[in-house]
């Protein structure tokens, strides 16, 4: 039995999700309107922590200091922060959110910022014993994995994406033996091109990581005490394994919206303003917005997008309440990955390119420009952060010119 909403304001903005995107929405709303009522519903029990360090500092050092906000900042923000309670359903017509504790929350505008969860594998799902099997999305996940990555432990990473490769690098620093299993022919080649893929691969192989491409895991081996001992590959071979990390991507947390009338496809389907229905918005990993630079819906799982899109939603929501249209969300996507002593930074849309131009600097650093015909569509910096900022400026000018 659900209770009637208590003390909730029908004008309030309710943000479901208290991580990077949700907090960015709240900060933007407060900066733009000192009176607006903002409620954040945060499914986690704790104050939110930042995610990029999870595969790096948290995993390597157990460093738990990477909070996205603290109590004092939250108080200064003047939002109602409801921790440890999940949104379980949405009544779109009544503008009510059902919460896991049986209560309901009314909203004037709803911002969905529920993020994503790690994708699983059928093979993993069917293994009832679970011992030795890991994913990495939360700080809890990172600390569990850290506990398993003792020196000499044999780690198998499934998925040579950014997360998998970062964990491989960190695990080498912790003294583990590391194998990476990738279904595609070359890690990240479809995202960043063959040249960058090879450079990343070389770096891992030089440090003793075994990277196996075009293959997949078909079985798990356990000893008589059910401890994980090896993984079986599609070609019949085996790799020794004490610890298995599944890092094969994520899927959006939209289950609670099923049947609600909010359009859901690969994420919450929004227009170019990040608006899904007249009173529902979405930001961050969960949002599939109409990206007018691509003429298609985009869903971006990078940390920088969470903040930037959260900001855009806050600005557009306030504009709409003033009777204005707002501004289409047209970011120039940006992300980075740190592996060993290499920092790789990428901006733009490398997947649009038809050729690449390399500019090398001393010490093995370089900038790779991705071009489509004569137009710059992306840039990648390999240990060249200052040059990267110039490249981001160059990209911004190019995109502004093309939009004009």
* Binding residues vs other proteins (CB under 8 A): 20, 24, 27-28, 31, 50, 52-53, 66, 68-69, 76, 303-304, 307-308, 310-311, 334, 336, 338, 343, 345, 385-386, 388-389, 392-393, 396
Cβ proximity of 157 and 167 under 8 Å: yes
Nearer to other proteins, 13 or 69 (CB): 69
User: Residue 36, SS3?
Assistant: coil
Q: At what angle do helices 303-321 and 20-32 cross, to 10 degrees?
A: 30
Shortest CB 41 distance to other proteins, Å? 21
Shortest CB 328 distance to other proteins, Å? 17
Nearest Cα neighbor of 369 from 360, 381, 352, 357 is 357
Shortest CB 287 distance to other proteins, Å? 16
Nearer to other proteins, 13 or 244 (CB): 13
Nearer to other proteins, 12 or 68 (CB): 68
Query: Pairing mode, if any, of strands 13-16 and 38-42?
Result: parallel
Nearer to other proteins, 104 or 304 (CB): 304
DSSP H helices in 229-326: 303-321
For the record, the structure tokens of 198 come out as: 């090879």
Shortest CB 342 distance to other proteins, Å? 12
* List of long-range contacts for 42-46, beta carbons under 8 Å, 24+ apart: 42/17, 42/18, 42/81, 42/82, 42/83, 42/84, 42/85, 43/17, 43/18, 43/84, 43/85, 43/86, 43/87, 43/114, 44/18, 44/83, 44/84, 44/138, 45/83, 45/84, 46/83, 46/139
- For residues 46, 52, 54, 58, the Cα torsion angle rounded to the nearest 10 degrees is -100
Nearer to other proteins, 222 or 392 (CB): 392
Give the rounded distance of the alpha carbon of 64 from its chain centre.
Answer: 19
Nearer to other proteins, 67 or 117 (CB): 67
CB within 8 Å of 321: residues ≥ 6 apart: 109
Exposed / middle / buried, residue 58 (Cβ in 10 Å: 0-12, 13-18, 19+): buried
Shortest CB 313 distance to other proteins, Å? 12
Shortest CB 364 distance to other proteins, Å? 15
Shortest CB 161 distance to other proteins, Å? 18
CB within 8 Å of 127: residues ≥ 6 apart: 133, 220
Shortest CB 297 distance to other proteins, Å? 22
List the strands of the sheet with 217-222, edge to edge. Answer: 217-222, 228-233, 238-240
Nearer to other proteins, 56 or 172 (CB): 56
Shortest CB 157 distance to other proteins, Å? 22
Nearer to other proteins, 65 or 357 (CB): 65
Nearer to other proteins, 218 or 396 (CB): 396
Nearest Cα neighbor of 167 from 142, 185, 188 is 142
> In what helix (H) or strand (E) does residue 238 lie, and over which residues does it extend?
strand 238-240
Shortest CB 359 distance to other proteins, Å? 17
For the record, the structure tokens of 30 come out as: 């407060």
Shortest CB 176 distance to other proteins, Å? 24
Nearer to other proteins, 244 or 344 (CB): 344
CB within 8 Å of 226: residues ≥ 6 apart: 129, 131
Nearer to other proteins, 154 or 311 (CB): 311
Within 184-237, strands assigned E span 210-212, 217-222, 228-233
CA angle 31, 21, 291 (to 5 degrees): 105
């Amino acid at each position: 039995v659900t209770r009637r909403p208590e003390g909730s304001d029908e004008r309030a903005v309710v943000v479901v999700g208290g991580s990077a995107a949700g907090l960015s929405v709240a900060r933007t709303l407060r900066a733009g309107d000192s009176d607006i009522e903002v409620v954040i519903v945060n499914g986690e029990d704790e104050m939110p922590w930042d995610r990029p360090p999870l595969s790096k500092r948290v995993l390597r050092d157990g460093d738990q200091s990477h909070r996205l906000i603290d109590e004092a900042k939250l108080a200064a923000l003047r939002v109602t922060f409801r921790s440890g309670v999940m949104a379980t359903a949405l009544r779109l017509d009544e503008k009510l959110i059902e919460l896991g504790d049986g209560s309901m929350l009314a909203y004037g505008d709803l911002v969905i910022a529920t993020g994503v969860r790690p994708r699983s594998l059928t093979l993993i799902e069917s293994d009832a014993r679970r011992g030795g099997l890991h994913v990495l999305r939360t700080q809890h996940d990172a600390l569990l994995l850290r506990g398993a990555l003792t020196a000499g432990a044999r780690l198998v990473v499934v998925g040579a994406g950014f997360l998998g490769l970062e964990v491989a690098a960190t695990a080498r620093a912790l003294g583990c033996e590391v194998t990476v299993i990738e279904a595609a022919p070359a890690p990240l080649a479809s995202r960043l091109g063959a040249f960058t893929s090879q450079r990343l691969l070389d770096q891992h192989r030089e440090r003793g990581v075994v990277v196996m491409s075009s293959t997949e895991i078909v079985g798990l081996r356990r000893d008589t005490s059910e401890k994980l001992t090896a993984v079986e590959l599609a070609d019949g071979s085996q790799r020794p394994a004490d610890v298995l990390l599944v890092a094969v991507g994520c899927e959006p947390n939209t289950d609670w919206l099923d049947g609600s009338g909010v359009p859901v496809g690969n994420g919450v389907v929004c227009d170019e303003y990040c608006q899904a229905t007249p009173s529902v918005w979405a930001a961050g990993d969960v949002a599939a917005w109409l990206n007018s630079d691509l003429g298609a819906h985009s869903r971006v799982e990078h940390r920088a997008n969470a903040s930037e899109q959260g900001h855009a939603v806050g600005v557009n929501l306030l504009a709409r309440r003033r009777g204005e249209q707002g501004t289409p969300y047209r970011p120039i996507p940006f992300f980075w990955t740190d592996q060993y002593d290499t920092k790789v930074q990428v901006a733009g849309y490398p997947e649009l390119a038809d050729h690449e131009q390399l500019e090398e600097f001393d010490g093995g650093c370089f900038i790779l420009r991705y071009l489509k015909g004569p137009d710059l569509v992306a840039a990648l910096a390999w240990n060249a952060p200052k040059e990267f900022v110039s490249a981001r400026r160059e990209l911004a000018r190019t995109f502004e010119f093309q939009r004009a």
